[in-house]
Chain A
Amino acid sequence: MKKLLALLLALAMIFSLAACGGSDKDATVDGNKDTAASDIKVGFICLHDEKSTYDLNFLNGVDEVKETLGLKDSQVIVKTNVPEGDECYQAAADLVDQGCDVIFANSFGHEDFMIKAAKEFTDVQFCHATGTKAHTEKLANYHNAFASIYEGRYLAGVAAGLKLKAMIDAGEITAKEAKMGYVGAFTYAEVISGYTSFYLGAKSIVPEVTMDVQFTGSWYDAVEEKNAAEALIARDCVLISQHADSMGAPSACEAAKIPNVSYNGSTKDACPNTYIVSSRINWAPYYKYMIECVMNGEEIATDWTGGIKEGSVVLTEINDKAAAEGTAAKLEEVKKGLTDGTVNVFDTANFTVGGKAVAADHKADVDTDAAYEADTAVVEDGIFKESKFRSAPYFDLRIDGITLLNEKF
């Protein structure tokens, strides 16, 4: 009993001290529509914090949009380390309580809990990156967003192809030996879409190129990614790229002096001799779009896919030390083709599946439901229309020329 009393007293002390401060922070403001820039409030929900490269990319976007729109610190509330559970709904609801007009969440597993919040708080807009359900949920205030990162991967693939071509021309390898390696996280549409577009980019330069893909089964595992890269190098891959968030693969490449096409940002500082180029998604354009929609009282698109034009898909600096000569000029040319529609990444004329061309009525699993069945015709005019029927990637064909060494779901 004594100890209980002691603890109680100790707690009382904490609170009495804490109460002295007076709390006028985050006073609730009524969320009225047609909000002007001066009183709009935006909430962000992140799975981890700045220690994760994935979340850092989102947080950098927040800083950028704050600057471009001139938002004050008090107008932007960022909640980090929000798990993919009911905590996400609670975080969103708390942001509503604090008067946020639009709330954004960044992790795939947040989706159901954002939808739950969207159903409850109908006068607040909810936006979710990488999600797949907005087009089937049909809620007026719930939206998905992604970027056509496959175009960035394609460009990165072109840079890889140029490097391979330079190696062939220099007599270092024969065209037959032009085999690339790819470290992927999971055998999931987003990753499949990514490595396929990367491969097609390289193939547009070196038609004989082949590629091996090794999956790690984790979005972030430095050791596994390093091991996978080393295994690929041991299988005579002469160039490596990756879709995973650690420095495992790039640093393995630097150690083995194998050229590397990176992801999520430049790795030039750590890998000055092997880093060629990197593609990444910039989230600031979407943030700007969703915030401006709310300010102007306009509707936010159910599915929004930012491309090269919008500044959502960006290539980081080219490393002249590792990249082939003329890479920058060629990338500019292909970039122009991608934006004006003369170049299409998933043009079915450029690849085969099991030796056959892709059928004109090919369907993919676009709607998220219990069936996991292909439900939407996605080929139009001979082009697999990625990110058209929903923003998140759904390209899942196993095209010829790419060998999967394992699968990880």
Chain B
Amino acid sequence: MAEAKIKTPLFHIAKRDPASMKWYTGVIVRAVAVVAALIVSGVLIMLLADINPLEVYSSMFDGVFGTERRIWNTLQDLAILLCISLAVTPAFKMRFWNCGAEGQVLIGGLATISVMFFLGDVLPYPVLILVMIVASIAAGIIWAVIPAIFKAIWNTNETLFTLMMNYVAIQIVAWFLKMFVKSGSGVLGSMPEYGLPVVGGKQFLLNIIIVAVLTAVSFIYLKYSKQGYEISVVGESENTAKYIGIGVKKVIIRTLIVSGAICGIAGLLIVGGTNHTISTTAVAGRGFTAIMVSWLAKFNPLTMVLTTFIVVFLDRGAQQISTAFGVPSSISDIITGIMLLFIIGCEFFLRYKIVFTKHAKEVA
């Protein structure tokens, strides 16, 4: 009888049991990921740009926190990205793949600027602000609820639908800009006089406060409200939801109304609270970055503050790298790419573990 030669692999991958996971496992895995990211990108920086990596990291830190203005800018970027991330979260938690935040925010911004443009000198200021708020939220809702209705009634593919709605929104903004600006330059002048009020003499304070409140409300809504619970159930299993008597269609539409409303608010903050003008690129891809931020935080609004911060830190840090060292922005993009890859990639090692095969000798 020839002994069957079984080639045992060096290691295999096994699922972790969340219950038996030690509290420090998560810390260690993430710390290793960050250190590895720093080492790998450090080596690349030295090879590609011939700069001392420590100087690069300190310059990132400087770009994010270096001056009072930079801290405010960081908080502002954090507030806007967090707001859009909060907006996509209810939909994603429900497994409704809303890739249309970009367009929903943009259309909310368009509603805001239209009110400012057409009614700015007609309405008294407090009424104007009220109309801006209502218009932006309504526009965001409309843009989000159209694919939701199609999904609920005809079960259309929401990923494609919401994605396409982005392009429609961009074209509508381009069309409005053509109407606003008759010189043909396509650039609408800034109208700060009709913008949201400045609170406490700090330009971004109002934006930050609004998003802070939204974060708390979102957390409570998703975690403690009945509607939040329904979202989780529909997300886990539509059949279970139907079985226990949850109106799935109703939940889908209602959740996208919430999602769209927050996108509308994000549009209001970008246009009414910050730029006081609009362009087709006003959202600048944050509708998509928000998906990553939300996912990385496992749809928990409080964790999202931190994941948003990581993204904003890397983004602002990268800008500072290319400014401070005069290197092409592609180099700083590579650095942020590596860091994100490691940070996201380490999630794998939190769910699975590598088990090294013990050598056969012991079996004998």
Residues of A that sit less than 8 Å from B by CB: 2-11, 13-15, 17-23, 25-26, 28, 49-51, 73, 77-81, 83-86, 90, 93-94, 97, 108-109, 111-113, 116, 186-189, 365, 368, 372, 409
Structural contact, B306 and A7, CB atoms closer than 8 A: yes
A73 touches B326 (CB 8 A): yes
Let me know if B289 is at the binding interface, CB within 8 A: no
A368 to B26, CA, bound (A): 58
Chain A residues near B192: list those with CB within 8 A: 116
Which one, B54-62, B90-98, B221-229, is touching chain A?
B54-62
Interface centre among B70, B319, B323, B324 (most CB of A within 10 A): B323
Report which of A18, A83, A109, A186 forms a contact with B60, defined as CB distance below 8 A: A18
Asked if B184 and A186 sit within 8 Å, CB to CB, the answer is yes
- Say yes or no: is B8 at the interface (Cβ < 8 Å to chain A): no
Q: Out of A13, A17, A25, A189, which one reaches B59, CB within 8 Å?
A: A25
Q: Given the known inter-chain contacts A18-B61, A81-B319, please indicate yes or no for A26 contacting B324, CB distance below 8 A.
A: yes
For A11, the chain B residues whose CB sits under 8 A away are: 306, 309-310
Q: Which of B18-71 contact A (CB under 8 A)?
A: 23, 26-27, 30-31, 33-35, 38, 52, 54-62, 66-67, 69-70
Contact of B279 (CB < 8 Å), options: A17, A20, A73, A109: A109
Given A49-B329, A80-B329, A81-B329, answer yes or no on A187-B184 (Cβ-Cβ < 8 Å): yes
Say yes or no: A112-B190 contact (C-beta < 8 A), given A14-B34, A23-B58, A85-B274: yes
Task: For chain B, residues 64 to 92, give those with C-beta under 8 angstroms from any C-beta of chain A.
Answer: 66-67, 69-70, 73
Evaluate contact between A4 and B306: CB separation under 8 angstroms. Answer: yes
Give the shortest distance, in Å, between A113 (CB) and chain B (any CB): 7
CB of B328 within 8 A of CB of A49, answer yes
Is the CB of B361 closer than 8 A to any CB of chain A? no
**Does B284 reach chain A (CB closer than 8 Å)?**
yes
The chain B residue sitting closest to A80, CB to CB, is B329
**Chain A residues, Cβ within 8 Å of B69:** 90, 93-94, 97
Given contacts A3-B26, A8-B306, A49-B329, contact A77 B323 (CB under 8 A): yes
With contact pairs A10-B34, A78-B323, A83-B284 given, residues A2 and B26 touching in the complex (Cβ less than 8 Å): yes
Chain B contacts to A: CB under 8 angstroms:
23, 26-27, 30-31, 33-35, 38, 52, 54-62, 66-67, 69-70, 73, 178, 181-187, 189-190, 192, 274-277, 279, 281-282, 284, 298, 302-303, 306-307, 309-310, 313, 319, 322-324, 326, 328-330, 343
User: Which of B59, B275, B302 interacts with A85 by CB under 8 Å?
Assistant: B275
Contact B184 A409 (CB under 8 A): yes
Identify B31's interface contact among A9, A77, A94, A409, CB under 8 A.
A9
Chain B residues, CB < 8 A from A112 = 189-190, 277
Return chain A residues, CB-CB under 8 Å to B326: 73, 78
Q: Are the C-beta atoms of B182 and A372 separated by less than 8 Å?
A: yes
B185 & A83 in contact (Cβ 8 Å cutoff): no
A116 to B190, CA, bound (A): 10
- Cα distance A116–B276 when bound, in Å? 12
Provide 13 A-B residue pairs closer than 8 Å at the C-beta atoms, listed in order of the A residue: A2-B23, A4-B303, A10-B34, A13-B34, A14-B38, A18-B57, A23-B59, A81-B322, A86-B276, A112-B189, A116-B192, A187-B184, A368-B183
CB distance A188 to B183 under 8 Å?
A: yes
B54 with A23: CB separation less than 8 A: no
Known contacts: A9-B31, A78-B326. The answer to whether A113 contacts B302 by CB under 8 A is no
Q: Decide: B184 and A25 in contact? CB cutoff 8 A.
A: no
Instruction: List chain A residues, Cβ under 8 A from B34.
Output: 10, 13-14
Is A4 a contact partner of B324 (Cβ separation < 8 A)?
no
- Nearest A residue (CB) for B271: A85
Task: Give every chain B residue within 8 A of A28 (Cβ-Cβ).
Answer: 67
A3–B303 contact, CB under 8 A?
yes
- Whether A188 and B184, one on each chain, are in contact in the complex, defined by CB atoms closer than 8 angstroms, is yes
Q: A11-B309, A18-B58, A368-B183 are in contact. Are A85 and B30 (CB under 8 A)?
A: no
Assembled-state Cα–Cα distance A38/B178 (Å): 47
Is A15's CB under 8 angstroms from B61's CB? Answer: yes
Across the A-B interface, give the 5 residue pairs with the lowest CB-CB distance, nearest first.
Answer: A21-B58, A188-B184, A112-B190, A18-B61, A85-B275
CB-based nearest A residue for B322: A80
